[in-house]
Amino acid sequence: MKKQKIIFLILFIVMLLINLPSYATQEEILQSQSETLNIKEFVKQANQYTQDVFDGIDAGTLLNDAIAGKIDNQTIFSKILSLFGKEVKDTLKIIRKHYCNHCNS
């Protein structure tokens, strides 16, 4: 019994002396992944290509909110719906113009 206590005490001391690796914080992990995946360049290009279509939506903010789990579906949905409506109107105008050009000739 005394041997078991000594072995247990030695193992306990060894465990205390071993330097266990520290775990990175969530922010450090996200920063590391951001650098590895070149997220800043992606956000820059996303803003460049979508600024005319999705006015008022910043890709960086949208990405950060998505990562944090705070997605504003209502704003995204309304922007997509207004874009879809605009495209439908433009298409109908083109069809009408094309149809009327053939009717008059």
* Residues across the chain: 105
- Integer Cα distance of 83 and 9 in angstroms: 70
Instruction: Find all residues with CB under 8 Å of 30, minimum gap 6, and list them.
Output: 67
Q: Is 38 left (phi over 0), alpha (psi -120 to 50) or beta?
A: left
Q: What is the pTM of this model?
A: 0.42
12 versus 54: which is more confidently predicted? Answer: 12
The pLDDT mean for the chain works out to 77
Determine the average pLDDT of the residues in 25-42. 79
The pair of three-digit structure tokens given for residue 5, joined into one six-digit string = 């206590």
Checking if the pLDDT of 105 tops 60, the result is no
Question: What is the rounded distance in angstroms from the CA atom of residue 93 to the CA atom of residue 79?
Answer: 21
Structure confidence at residue 16 (pLDDT): 66
pLDDT digits (tens, 9 = 90+) for 52-90: 766 667 777 777 777 777 877 787 788 778 878 888 888
